[in-house]
Structure 1
Amino acid sequence: MASCLLSEDQFLCSVCLDLFTVPVTIPCGHNFCKNCITEHWDTSEKCRCPLCMEAFTIRPGLRVNTLLSETVAKFIEEAKQEAEQEARSSSSSEQQVFKPGEVPCDICTETKLKALKSCLVCRTSYCETHLEPHLTASGLKRHQLIDPVEKLEDRMCPKHDKPLELFCKTDQTCVCIICHVSNHKMHDVVPLKEGYDEKKAAMVKADAESQQMIQTRRKKIKEFKESVDLSEKDADREITEGVQVLTALRDSVERGLNQLIDTVRMKQKTTEKQAKTFIKDLEQEISTLKKRSAEIERLSHCDDHLHFLQGVQSLKIQHRPPTKNWTNISFHPSYEGSVRRAVAELKDSISAPVTLTFDRPVKMKKMKKKKTFPG
């Protein structure tokens, strides 16, 4: 490997600082990757050599330097063979063998070792042995190394093929350095780590709010259930009292007795129906909040800045979930006084048909139309 590394600098493109890819020679004699010099000229007002700054009146045609291309290919192949040979000859007992859930070394051919770093330029993950060239070779030392991750291609800009290392707060998206200069120059752009920290803090806050809202709704469910129990007791007591009074006037008030029972039962059913409706709504909101909390919990364990930010963006934690404000909603159905009113009517006309009416409706505070979020 040493013999290859000594001459590596002569095969580096001065634009991308990586080994030549499809090398071309321009009129001044300097060599560049075809894509690098093309992109450089596309974004420049004049066609100049990036090294000697010689200007060309007419944009030169680009032809592949076949000899240099073959030499680079041979250099890469020899370096790869020497690296594999060195890896096979070195002992891997001190390094950790790749386990499920970990990122493996892409170079290991036999026993896969756990990757120590991933290179965004090479788009390859390396174990400790195969990472050595990136720590010693002058050209490879310029490459950007990160903690090992899978699917390195997902971390590259699909438009410019550069690492996604910035986060645009204006557009809420991850961008590369070229995206920043070309399309996001006037936007609020920060490093991935800073965007990650801000989003994670917002996510923690959103989860705390969700947990508080869940507890509030659980208390409200308990309150509604207790109201139903009290309502049922009131209904039973009213029915018993009505039976005692109207039985004494059996012939005259039989229809009134039946109407009393039916009316009370109808009110009780209405009360239960209202309570079930509210309980169902609350349970649905709890289910929604639990799902949101579970997603937040999953993301909170994600150390991958890119995947974390993309996940948080789809979660939209800056918007609170659309829930109702249950703080002031309650109902207290009452049946008290129905029998006394019926007896008063009977005193006025004991032989007339008795009609018992319940003028006192179930007490229910109106739901606010505006959706708010209790603290």
Structure 2
Amino acid sequence: MLRDFSPQALIMGLITGFVGFSSSFAIVLQGLFAVGASPEQAASGLTAMCIAMGVCAIILSAQRKMPISVAWSTPGAALMVNSGTLSGGFAAATGAFLVCAALIILSGIWRPFGRAVERLPVSLANAMLAGILMPLCFAPIKAIGFDPMLGLPIALAWLVVGFFNKLAAVPAALLAFVLVIIFGVELPADTMDQLANSLLPNMVFTVPIFDIAAVISLALPLYIVTMASQNIPGMAVLKANNYETKAGPLFTLTGVFSLVAAPFGSHAVNLAAITAAMCASPDAHPDKDKRYWAAIVAGIVYIIIGIFAGVAITFISLAPAVLVEAVAGLALVGAFAAAGYGALNSEKDRHAAAVTFLITASGVSFFGISGAFWGLLAGIAILSASKFIPQK
């Protein structure tokens, strides 16, 4: 393995780790806070996720000699923002995380179950995801309305840098966010003491509560978006770069790490798609059999970042929530555009996809179950009914 190590893989791994974390950690934090996590529980969740996905990536990549990149479920975090606080609090959310992890493991172990998820119409999965993401994408506009002097620099950094390098757009917005907080927000006198006290990780174990409403409104949609938007595309990226491996064992191991990390606040660990493409590209190494080191290095970066996640939480807690939401919303614009296109691109499924999107985006809930579930259910019902109705 050491003979396969290269400077190219080292550099790409470092970039992948930084981009993978900085481009979406604000979304993850917003999601954890939305389902009732305290700052301590959110910091614990971020640490647990980073360590879990780092170790998982190292094991899978080293074992198979393939650049198998692992990430947290960004669409799942966006879903949590829309779900809101559950009746059982964060304990009920933790129970939903465990159910989601068990379903991912089941997808890997029992192939028919995984195939059932794969047969879910792509248009409906994209419609549900677009509906989940749309309210979050309004956040940058709301931040500018809240305070143009604070919100506008973040949006402009994302826009201007994105013209030249799309991958650097969100890190640029994050840097602008940091500068805005340092120079534009009045920080408490004991800020440095707070940051120093949060240097060491503090893992918080949450005893789960298994609530049927939380399972239906959070666990099932979380499982579906994680599989449809992360695990399956992650496998597609590997195949597109000529890496052939069975999906089942990969899903199973990510599910196991999700299960172990869930009581500490982690919502889901899964195969990566965008960062997987970075590690599997020729930029990581001309020889495809030596690119796996990029994913290993990225895994190490995630672990190191995870250990110091408490500092990020402490710093972000000093900022107005609307600015944090703005960074998260900017990070999701590309995903929203892709999901919207995927939802409405098929004329045959367009009507069902539109209904799924509208119900999900409305944010309404019935019987304590979020709109994401009802939107998907309505879309499936419309598609099923259309098979029995003659089309003109």
- TM-score between the two structures when normalised by the length of structure 1: 0.19
Whichever of the two has the greater Rg, that structure is: 1
Higher helix share: 2
Higher relative contact order (CA 8 A, sep 6+): 2
Q: From the two aligned structures, give the one with the greater strand fraction.
A: 1
